[in-house]
């Protein structure tokens, strides 16, 4: 008997069809990358130690690749990131090897890190690993600056509840998918025993 397919496997197929179609214009890709760099720098500026660590890597270029998408980041003398030109030779290459967006989302909801392949400057890789392990975005603090403490706390609480519900949903689906496999492997009742 064939193992049942995930009810969400159609999302992977849909993503495959979308990414194999026409690519977005270069100006849009650049704008999205620029916004992402602004967000990363915003988060880094909340952690002075992170910026101090990056200052030591000033001028280094890291290229991040996932499927056909890539972005090259240059470390600035201020300990932040800026977009590096496409022709910039990377000191570090980081490739996310899991091509399925659904698998990446499930891993993120479980708190797992994606499968990656790293090549290049070991010290720059160590600093970026430190950033991944220690720098966190405080959504509630940012919202409090704009909305005030009470509304920010309410939104933060709601966001945590949604994240928890998503984790439970994914966990239940993953357990449901594993259960048929376990049932097939489990031995049947022993009818020969006295």
pLDDT in tens, the chain (194 residues): 455 555 555 555 655 665 566 778 888 988 999 998 998 999 899 899 999 999 999 999 999 988 888 899 999 999 999 999 878 999 999 888 887 777 777 777 676 777 888 899 999 988 988 888 888 877 677 777 777 888 777 877 777 777 676 667 666 666 665 655 554 544 444 444 44
List % helix, strand, coil for the chain (3-state, nearest 5).
Answer: 55, 15, 30
78 contacts 51 by C-beta, under 8 angstroms: yes
The HSE-up count of residue 17 (CA atoms within 13 Å, CB side) is 5
Comparing CA positions, the residue from 92, 52, 54 lying closest to residue 72 is 92
Instruction: Please tell me the pTM assigned to this model.
Output: 0.63
Residues paired with 64 in a beta bridge:
71, 94
Cβ partners under 8 Å of residue 153, min gap 6: 140, 144
């Amino acid at each position: 008997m064939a193992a049942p397919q995930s009810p969400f496997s159609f999302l992977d197929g849909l993503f495959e069809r979308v990414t194999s179609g026409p690519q977005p214009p270069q100006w849009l890709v650049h704008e999205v990358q620029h916004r992402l760099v602004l967000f990363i720098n915003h988060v880094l500026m909340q952690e002075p130690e992170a910026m101090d660590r990056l200052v030591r890597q000033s001028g280094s270029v890291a290229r991040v690749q996932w499927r056909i998408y890539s972005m090259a980041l240059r470390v600035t003398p201020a300990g932040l990131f800026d977009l590096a030109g496409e022709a910039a030779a990377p000191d570090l290459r980081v490739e996310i090897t899991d091509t399925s967006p659904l698998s990446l989302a499930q891993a993120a909801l479980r708190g797992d890190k994606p499968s990656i392949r790293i090549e290049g400057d070991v010290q720059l890789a160590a600093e970026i690993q430190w950033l991944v392990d220690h720098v966190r975005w405080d959504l509630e603090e940012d919202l409090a600056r704009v909305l005030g403490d009470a509304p920010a706390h309410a939104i933060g609480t709601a966001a945590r509840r949604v994240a928890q519900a998503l984790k439970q949903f994914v966990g239940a689906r993953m357990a449901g998918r594993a259960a048929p496999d376990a049932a097939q492997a489990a031995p049947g009742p022993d009818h020969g025993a006295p």
